Amino acid sequence: MTRYTIGIDTGGTYTDAVLMETASRRLLRWSKEATTHHDLGIGVDRALRGLFREGVRPEEIGRLSVSTTLATNAVVEGRGARVGLFVLGIVRHFKLPVVANVFLKGGHDITGREEQPLDIEGLVDTVQGLKNEVDAYAVCGAMAIRNPTHELVAEKAIAMIDPKPVFCSHRVSDHPGMKERAATACLHARLMPMMENFLASIRSSMDRLGLACPVTLICGNGQGTGLEEAVQRAAVTMASGPAATARFGASTGIGSALVVDVGGTTTDVCMLRDGQPVMRREGCRIGPWQTHVEAIDMYTAAGGGDSHVVCDSRGNLRLEKTRVQPLAMTRDLPDPGRWLGSGLRATLVLPTADDTGQDESDNLLRWLRQHGPATPATLAEQTGVSGIVLEKRLERLAYRQEIILAGFTPTDALHVLGRLDIGSREQAEAGAGVLAAIPGMSPEAFCRQVLDRTEEAIEAIIIDYLGQAIWEDLQAVPFLNRRDNALFRMEFALKMPLIGIGAASRCFLPGVARRLHTTVSFPDHYQVGNAMGAALISAPS
């Protein structure tokens, strides 16, 4: 007889697993392991193995439920598969952050009648030029929700030239908004390879442990789906992590509150009203993408414990949107005093430990394997690849998990100040010493400034979410973007408390709560709240 439910949450920094007694919904044990981006299965394996002790047998597990922020992190950081978008019909042009936005004749009217013939020659010519530049295609036709013929013809034509995946908008959205429908199709295309790899790692880990139970992947609307559906409609997982966050927050019994999950890459905010998560039926927004994906009403933005801290040559400090591996968490790290600095010396590029199947024809990767870790400045000097070309090449290698990018982060600042002890304090202190010398500060003062900036970033994310909940986006812009200017500064006082989730939340949210003149609470097991939320969603009522 099955007795237990397992919940897993894979985030940008940690992979968490919980073992819950299904009948009582009581958490029995939990484990937390570093997310291994070059091979996600390693982190999943370690987290699962931490649950199987003291007599728990695989056959006693009734269901394994998975939430993840990998998709939202990829969207916010601008990572994922390279997508070419074809828009068919007489429509106002718009731009999405993909490799190519191509507008062609075609499409239908509101009755489903063809407005103009599909420009098949233009489509074929464009695919010939794009096929070496993209990993997948998205097709969005005017009123394809009434008549998908042109999308289906385009899909077939693309497949005859290039065998890569093609995503048609009518299969992923039944709403009329062209830009939002196109964005939804693009995100499915962009996230599918990542989701395939992640779910394959889950299956492999289960096989090694002898787990044969059903698997549920949490969708953004707080419901579960099977693995096949999650791969084919990958964008439904975009708000998977926040949905689990909201469910765990609702289990606290607090009526109205903001649930804030501070992760390594992003901060997720959602609202509870009358003890239940608020839904966004018309579609969620993540970063620059407004979609038709039904989801918890949440806001996700870059900013967390592993945000890249950059100090320019004048000593000005800023938090980048991109996640890097903290110095404290990087094995075999060369002395930061020999490489860390401003500009192209702010990041260290390391080849991943597993070189199986890697493309040694790439001169950047080949140089790294021959000579060891280096900064982008050194790579530019030694290989002749520089500027935007170097940036895009490194971005591509990181996407393929062939390199790791390391740099100074708020996590390192916490180590220096003695508030966190999960990695090498010595490596964090060495990095802080180098960067603090640029503006002429002590390492401790520099790290306190890093934490202040991180709290400011989280505060801004919360205010942005609330501002857009009260005003329309255009109305909110003057207030939210200019609340601190040359003439005045606006402060906000929240009328509801915060609920903190995630290991990093204890480090940052007390300061954020003070800034917003409210309180923050940390429920039992808040460190693994998303994994617990995933288990609660899939457990039978």
- Does a structural domain hold residue 399? yes
Has residue 380 got a pLDDT over 60? yes
Residue 65 has what pLDDT? Answer: 93
Distance CA(48)–CA(43), nearest Å, equals: 9
Has residue 431 got a pLDDT over 70? yes
Residue 133 has what pLDDT? Answer: 92
Longest dimension (CA), the chain: 70
What number of CA atoms fall less than 13 Å from residue 193's CA on the CB side? Answer: 19
Angle at 511 between CA 509 and CA 513, to 5 degrees: 65
Distance CA(360)–CA(38), nearest Å, equals: 17
pLDDT tens track for 307-326: 999 998 888 999 998 889 99
Residue ranges making up the domain that contains 177: 81-193
Question: Residue 20 contacts by C-beta under 8 Å, 6 or more apart in sequence?
Answer: 4, 5, 6, 7, 26, 27, 28, 532, 535, 536, 539
* Bridge partners for 216 per DSSP: 65
- Does a structural domain hold residue 354? yes
Lowest mean pLDDT among 211-220, 230-239, 459-468: 230-239
Q: What is the mean pLDDT of the segment spanning 114-137?
A: 94
| Selected residue with higher pLDDT from 359 and 96 | 96
Band (pLDDT 50/70/90 cuts) for residue 356 is low
Q: What is the mean pLDDT of the segment spanning 179-205?
A: 87
Of 447, 468, 500, which closes a domain? 447
- Does a structural domain hold residue 55? no
Band (pLDDT 50/70/90 cuts) for residue 359 is low
Lowest mean pLDDT among 110-114, 297-301, 404-408: 297-301
Residue 263 has what pLDDT? Answer: 86
Q: Which two tokens stand for residue 329?
A: 């968490």
Number of domains in the chain: 2
Residue 484 has what pLDDT? Answer: 77
Distance CA(336)–CA(348), nearest Å, equals: 9
Q: What is the mean pLDDT of the segment spanning 20-34?
A: 91
- Does a structural domain hold residue 493? no
Q: What is the mean pLDDT of the segment spanning 89-115?
A: 92
Predicted model pTM: 0.80
- Does a structural domain hold residue 442? yes
| Selected residue with higher pLDDT from 477 and 206 | 206
Residue 14 has what pLDDT? Answer: 85
- Does a structural domain hold residue 265? no
| Selected residue with higher pLDDT from 407 and 295 | 407
Has residue 428 got a pLDDT over 90? yes
Please report, for the domain that includes residue 165, its CATH number.
3.40.50
Of 174, 193, 212, which closes a domain? 193
Has residue 354 got a pLDDT over 70? no
Has residue 2 got a pLDDT over 80? no
Lowest mean pLDDT among 317-321, 369-373, 435-439, 474-478: 474-478
Residue 116 has what pLDDT? Answer: 94
Q: Alpha carbon 309 to chain centroid distance?
A: 18
Of 173, 193, 213, which closes a domain? 193
Question: Residue 79 contacts by C-beta under 8 Å, 6 or more apart in sequence?
Answer: 73, 395, 398, 399
